[in-house]
Amino acid sequence: MEINRKNIVKRTWYYMEQRKGYIVDSHRDPVLIQRMMEQALVALGEICIVDDAGRYLYVSDEYAKSMDVSIEDAMGKPISEFIDNTDIPNVLKTGRPTKGVIYRRNGRSFWLNRFPIKEDGKIIGAVGQAMMTDDQELDRLRSQLGSLVKELNYYKEKYRQSAGKRHSVSSVITRSEGMLALKETLFTVARTRSTVLLTGESGTGKEVFANAIHDLSPRKDKPFVKLNCAAIPDHLLEAELFGYEEGSFTGALKGGKIGDFEAADGGTILLDEVDSLTPGMQSKLLRVIQEREVKKVGSTKPTPVDVRFIFATNKNLFKLVKDGQFREDFYYRINVISLELPPLRERLEDIPLLAEHFIRKLNAELDMEIKGMTPEALSLLESYQWPGNIRELENYMERAFNFAQGDLLKAEYFHLPVADGTQKLVSMTLKNIRQRAEETAIKRALKITNGNKKEAAELLEIDRSLLYDKIKLYGI
């Protein structure tokens, strides 16, 4: 046996020497090289070499031991007689290696690699390598892979944010008149560089709109950078937005850091939750918007930047200004084009469309095949207030998916909160609907006229005294 194997090693070495691309120092003692090649094969561990018909030519001791194959029995016989489902015939056929396949045999796990051996482009055999591994090792590899995937997702998300390709205008799903009109204005708004202020309750789609504006604009191939003003402490926010010079404060990175404004150069920057900016930051930002240049922290030299600003908030900034909690000059600076997204409860007609959209999305994400929802489920959704708007709808849809049995979503799968003091179900009587519509119209009119009741009454084409009555009635 021993002699036999040595011969094979010799032939292998000869073969390798013939091949272009292998470095075999021909001035060395061939016997030494042969011994080294032999050692190399041993070091590779559980290894076998087969010919073009998949018959065993070489089997290492380790291979024989772990795969429970007797060398004497195996020699010259096809590998498929010993190892079921072996991929070697496939490798011989396609000439493509397979790497990192996990194989279990006799309660043990192996990490398999298989490589074709070619000569003059013809497949003349294959090498199979099996590294025995225990479940702990596999778990370690799996978790290593898992954290790599997580890291990759993090960078993908960062890339997505800066590339801003996630939402185009077609992501705005609606058939309500007000929203369709807003969607239409996006095309005009996108063409300019004017600052946009997006307002609306949480989850109404402000970020979707900001994305769509960027995507429709001539800046669409430049970065879209999003920053949540509430998520970062004030002293870091400045460094984050403006960047800093090396050594400008303790903890500053070597070489300094480029700020978000510079990073967004040529593109769009979304400053979300702008209401949480401190007056100090507001006045610094005011300068950037006016001068279109930034000064890094610790630097005196300004850098010009070309960015389009979009601000978003779910607060009433005008009210904050009146209460002295937001700078008036800054408010007027950012309130150039203002788009207000209506809450979902004011556009209940969108619910069937959105539900359909989320069913499609969740089917794909969760690998399910929900076909739709029962009429009772739909009318339940249409009778709820949706304080968290579309985001809340999406969450409840996902919840219903988790409880779903069969291919239709039923009302009980949603577990919507039942009527209590805070979450009253919307009454569907005509009177109630009319009152809600009135209330909304009055609030809008007052907002547009900055609280001027005379102008609001004119806008609504009603008597001023009637307006006063209604304001009192609805407690506005």
What's the token pair of residue 457? 């009454």
262 vs 272 by CB, closer to ligand ATP: 272
| Residue 199 partner contact from Mg ion, ligand ATP, none using kind-dependent CB cut-offs of 5 to 8 Å | none
Contact flags string 186-225 toward ligand ATP, x per CB under 6 A: --------------x-xxxxxxx-----------------
User: Which are the contacts of 191, defined by CB distance < 8 A and separation ≥ 6?
Assistant: 216, 217, 218
Q: Which residues contact Mg ion (rule: CB under 5 A)?
A: 207
| Residue 69 partner contact from ligand ATP, Mg ion, none using kind-dependent CB cut-offs of 5 to 8 Å | none
What's the token pair of residue 417? 């909160």
In the complex, residue closest to ligand ATP by CB: 205
For the beta carbon of residue 256, count every other beta carbon within 10 angstroms: 18
Shortest distance, position 394 Cβ to Mg ion, whole Å: 13
225 vs 305 by CB, closer to ligand ATP: 225
Q: Give the max Cα distance, the chain.
A: 112
How far, in whole angstroms, is CA 325 from its chain's centroid? 35
| Residue 200 partner contact from ligand ATP, Mg ion, none using kind-dependent CB cut-offs of 5 to 8 Å | ligand ATP
Distance CA 67, CA 57 (A): 16
E strand map for 81-239: 98-105, 108-119, 122-133, 196-199, 224-228
Distance CA 404, CA 315 (A): 36
58 vs 384 by CB, closer to ligand ATP: 384
How far, in whole angstroms, is CA 212 from its chain's centroid? 17
3-state secondary structure of 276: helix
Shortest distance, position 210 Cβ to ligand ATP, whole Å: 8
207 vs 215 by CB, closer to Mg ion: 207
**Near ligand ATP by CB under 6 A: residue from 172, 213, 377, 446:** 172
**Near ligand ATP by CB under 6 A: residue from 186, 269, 307, 390:** 390
The answer to whether the CB of 426 falls within 8 A of the CB of 385 is yes
116 lies in the binding site for ligand ATP (CB under 6 A): no
> Which amino acid is located at 36 in the chain?
M
User: Which are the contacts of 209, defined by CB distance < 8 A and separation ≥ 6?
Assistant: 172, 182, 186, 198, 339, 341
Give the bridge partners for 294, in sequence order.
Answer: 303
| Residue 105 partner contact from Mg ion, ligand ATP, none using kind-dependent CB cut-offs of 5 to 8 Å | none
3-state secondary structure of 305: coil
For the beta carbon of residue 59, count every other beta carbon within 10 angstroms: 26
Which residues in the 306-335 window bind ligand ATP by CB under 6 A? 314
| Residue 282 partner contact from ligand ATP, Mg ion, none using kind-dependent CB cut-offs of 5 to 8 Å | none
The dihedral over CA atoms of 290, 295, 301, 306, expressed in degrees to the nearest 10, equals -50
Shortest distance, position 200 Cβ to ligand ATP, whole Å: 6
**Near ligand ATP by CB under 6 A: residue from 35, 55, 292, 391:** 391
Residue in the block written with tokens 């978790």: 143
Contact flags string 151-170 toward ligand ATP, x per CB under 6 A: --------------------
Q: By rule CB under 6 A, what count of residues binds ligand ATP?
A: 17
113 vs 202 by CB, closer to ligand ATP: 202
| Residue 215 partner contact from ligand ATP, Mg ion, none using kind-dependent CB cut-offs of 5 to 8 Å | none
Catalog residues that contact ligand ATP under the rule CB under 6 A. Answer: 171-174, 200, 202-208, 314, 357, 390-391, 394
